[in-house]
Amino acid sequence: MDGIIFLLPVALLLGAIFAGLFLYAVDRGQFDDLDDPPERILHD
Amino acid sequence: MSAPTIPGTASVSSAVLHGRCPHCGTAVEGADDAFCCHGCEIAAAIIRGAGLERYYQERELCAPRPEPVSGAWDRVPVEQREDGCSEARLVVDGLRCASCVWVTERVLEQTPGVTAATVSYATGRATLVWNPSITTLGALARRIAALGYRPRPLTEAAKPDRDLALRLGVALFASMNIMLLAASVYAGWWSTMEPRYAALFHWTSLALATPVALWCAAPFFAGAWSGLRHRQLQMDLPIALGISILYGHGLIATLRGEDSYLDSLAMLVALLLAGRMLEARGRRRAAEAAVALAASVPPTARRETATGLETVPVDQLRHDDRIDVGAGDEFAADGLVTEGSGQVRMALLTGETDPVPVAPGDRVVAGALLLDGALTVRVEAVGEETLVHRMAQGLEAAADRGVEPTAGDRIAPWFTAITLAVGALTFGGWILASGLQPAIARTVAVLVVACPCALALSQPLAAAAGLGATARRGLLFRSADALLRLRRIDLVAIDKTGTLTGGAPRVVEADDATLRIAAGLERYSNHPIGRAIVAEAARREIPLPRATEVREVAGAGVSGQLDGQTWELRSGGPGSVRLRSTGGEERTIRLADEARADAAGTVAALHGLGLKVVLLTGDHAVIAERLASATGIRETIARMDPAAKADWVRARQAEGHHVLFAGDGLNDGPALAAADVGIAMGHGAASSVLVADGVVSSDALGPILAGLRASRASHRVIGSNQRRSLVYNALAVGAAVAGLVNPLVAAVLMPLSSGMVIWGASRVETLVRKEETWTG
């Protein structure tokens, strides 16, 4: 059970990395337009 | 201005269209590769030059015929990027299929100076990045127009709200993790959990919840604070209160090693932010489309100098400058005609489409269109002094309707007062019954479950769903407020020209042979009557012949040779043109500005909804009566000037009616501003779009009906959502008073009630569809 003391921060860190990636993606405009990219791949 | 629709929508299966214009698909006499007009020829040359012939094989629908565009490209907000490039956004009309988007993007990308170009099929937005030292936005817009699509300037480019997305992302991340931790804490109630682990979980939860309460929830605190400062109790206030209590309790509970409501807090903030985001998305789409204006004053003018002509930006024009205006140009300034003659279309200003002949000594106004001829104009008023600008400004001021408090905001003060009173009673009751400790716990529980998350979500979500439903049907609202106001409407006033009718003449009577010759003469014409004749020929699939020695005489007509004879096309009195040959043959084509195809059906459906429909027009009573009886309108008021229309609207309002006004011209502006809900036709005057609450984006009346239905559906959903969430709150508060609510119960109840509201909002579209199938 003591492992939790080590694992909990690790789990949170992993989560934080993904949250950070999400924030980075928002900042780069990946979520600005959710309607067109699905149409676009049909035509390239 | 609504151009006659060319039936380029003919579907195509191969690259070569036999007997048709290879670009737009209009039937043409002669060789297979003959173009119908210069515009199509140029468009095809651009596409071939860019190596994009594949477009002609892959497209599903033919392209529209290219038409010249004008627009205030210099007024489009341009963002200067760090790499020295400029970035701006435009609206592009006429994109019919994915191939249109593809070819537009590729052509732009291959244009020198362009570093990136993306075009959105769903929203019709183009985002352009270019090097300002090589090209200009105006040049790029003309390039789009050359392909047959119509770019329009976006005067207020609304950037997507990334701030809200960031807050939502953080809130979701935190709430998911806190929930996981909370699940183990609650599991610890039934099995055993060592205190040090419980403490670890509690402190971790607090660490995760802190940014949620302090940063993610900041918009609610800001809203509550601004409400307080303006002495208005808004829905944000009880929310901010709830969040503060939840976080304050969590802080103390964690210090004391007790269970907290922090999981509920994070979930609540995440749900509320998600609701805000959905609302903002629906609103941004609608508002952006509404500000996309076909600005009618051209950005440049041709000024006469001692040596010749120079092209100058409009803001450099001075009084007494002389400007040259050619056929198809819009006037850049108000002024006095000194030389030349021609016909001017003032539809944007007066609402009436008949061209007005002008000669030296006549006055012209900025924004009007010179249909034929050529003029020299002495400038008398520029920029902000022009009539069109002054009228638009006056209208904007008049249209300031202010923000109506939402139903939620009306409930909010009562809600807050009742919650606080119940909290105080609970505290008092339990302190007498079992002491301070349980009294605090139960009071906190009351304040937690009373937090009106579901109630706060019910209106914005249903309104956003309603805005989406109307947008899909071709009506774009500036705000959810206007959509909700529509329900109270009991009187619909419709302007005639351009609203009930298409705003441009259409051929109503002509035989095929006559039409063929007339269309051959008018093939390259920009005159509305010429375009109507060509459009009708294209509709009947009559191949366009090629006339020779075509001569256009300003204000008089057009002549040319065809089939070995010389023909002359002249005006034949109101509503008709006469075709005369040298051999003495004479034929007539009748034209009329007819009611829109869906006008009668829409009027019948409006009557079916129990609304009164009235036709208001500046035109003669006879014409108005004829249109009214054709469309089923029972009341007509003719010969009204702009002020009379607005007065009429105010008089009906004084009688207790709620008036919807639909119009399109600058002359309709005062009435649009005065009405409870003003709806402008999207192809109408820019200023009418500015003062209206909503804009019809398609060439039809039906969207107005869709708006009324969506408003009713949204109100029904809001009503049932509010009843449900009030019942939920009452039950939950009752349980909390009785001491039955603990952090686990709250964690289950809260998402349940919010989920119920989200499900309710998703029913708006279903309700609108149901009504459509019932009433047609």
Q: Do B166 and A26 touch (CB under 8 A)?
A: yes
Whether pTM > 0.90 for this model: the answer is no
Q: In total, how many domains does chain A have?
A: 1
Percent of chain B residues topping a pLDDT of 90: 13
Name the DSSP letter for residue B558: E
Concatenated DSSP letters for B529-546?
HHHHHHHHHHHTTPPBP-
**A1 belongs to a structural domain:** yes
- Indicate whether B322 pLDDT > 50: yes
> Are the C-beta atoms of residues B227 and B237 closer than 8 Å to each other?
yes
Helix pair angle (B436-450, B407-434), 10° resolution: 170
CA B496/CA B352 separation, integer angstroms: 9
- Indicate whether B666 pLDDT > 60: yes
Residue numbers of the domain that contains A21: 1-31
Q: Do B123 and A36 touch (CB under 8 A)?
A: yes
CA B763/CA B758 separation, integer angstroms: 9
> Are the C-beta atoms of residues B458 and B757 closer than 8 Å to each other?
yes
User: How many residues make up chain A in this entry?
Assistant: 44
**A39 belongs to a structural domain:** no
CA B512/CA B63 separation, integer angstroms: 25
> Are the C-beta atoms of residues B8 and B25 closer than 8 Å to each other?
yes
Q: Pick B102's closest partner by Cβ from A23, A27, A43.
A: A43
**A16 belongs to a structural domain:** yes
- Complex prediction ipTM: 0.81
Q: Report the residue of A26, A28, A30, A42 to disrupt the B interface, i.e. the one with the largest count of B CBs within 10 Å.
A: A26
CA B298/CA B329 separation, integer angstroms: 8
Averaged pLDDT score across all residues of chain B? 80
A-B contacts (CB, under 8 Å):
56
**pLDDT tens digits along B36-90:** 877 788 888 888 888 888 888 778 777 777 776 655 566 566 788 888 888 888 8
pLDDT at residue number B288: 55
Q: Do A43 and B98 touch (CB under 8 A)?
A: yes
**pLDDT tens digits along B2-21:** 333 334 444 444 445 667 88
Query: Annotated active-site positions of B, please?
Result: 495
**A6 belongs to a structural domain:** yes
Q: Do B160 and A8 touch (CB under 8 A)?
A: no
Nearest chain A residue (CA) to B158: A32
Domains of chain B: 162-289+404-463+746-764 (no CATH), 300-385 (2.70.150.10), 471-503+596-711 (3.40.50.1000), 506-592 (3.40.1110.10)
**A42 belongs to a structural domain:** no
**A40 belongs to a structural domain:** no
**pLDDT tens digits along B129-150:** 998 888 888 888 888 888 888 7
Angstrom CA distances, B236 to B91, B211, B240, B418, B645, stand at 35, 19, 6, 16, 40
Angstrom CA distances, B84 to B81, B131, B132, B540, B601, stand at 6, 7, 8, 52, 54
Q: Do A27 and B166 touch (CB under 8 A)?
A: yes
- Indicate whether B508 pLDDT > 60: yes
> Are the C-beta atoms of residues B272 and B220 closer than 8 Å to each other?
yes
Q: Report the residue of A5, A32, A41 to disrupt the B interface, i.e. the one with the largest count of B CBs within 10 Å.
A: A32
Averaged pLDDT score across all residues of chain A? 79
Q: Which tokens hold the place of B570?
A: 């002249």
Place B294 in a pLDDT band, splitting at 50, 70 and 90: very low
CA B104/CA B144 separation, integer angstroms: 7
> Are the C-beta atoms of residues B375 and B325 closer than 8 Å to each other?
yes
A contacts of B183 (beta carbons < 8 Å): none
Q: Which tokens hold the place of B173?
A: 């991340």
**A10 belongs to a structural domain:** yes
Q: Which tokens hold the place of B304?
A: 């006469």
Angstrom CA distances, B258 to B70, B179, B198, B206, B438, stand at 69, 16, 9, 12, 13
Which residues 3-42 on chain A approach chain B with CB closer than 8 angstroms?
Answer: 4-5, 8, 12, 15-16, 18-19, 22-23, 26-27, 29, 31-33, 35-36, 39, 42
- Indicate whether B274 pLDDT > 80: yes
Pairing of strands B475-477, B506-509: unpaired
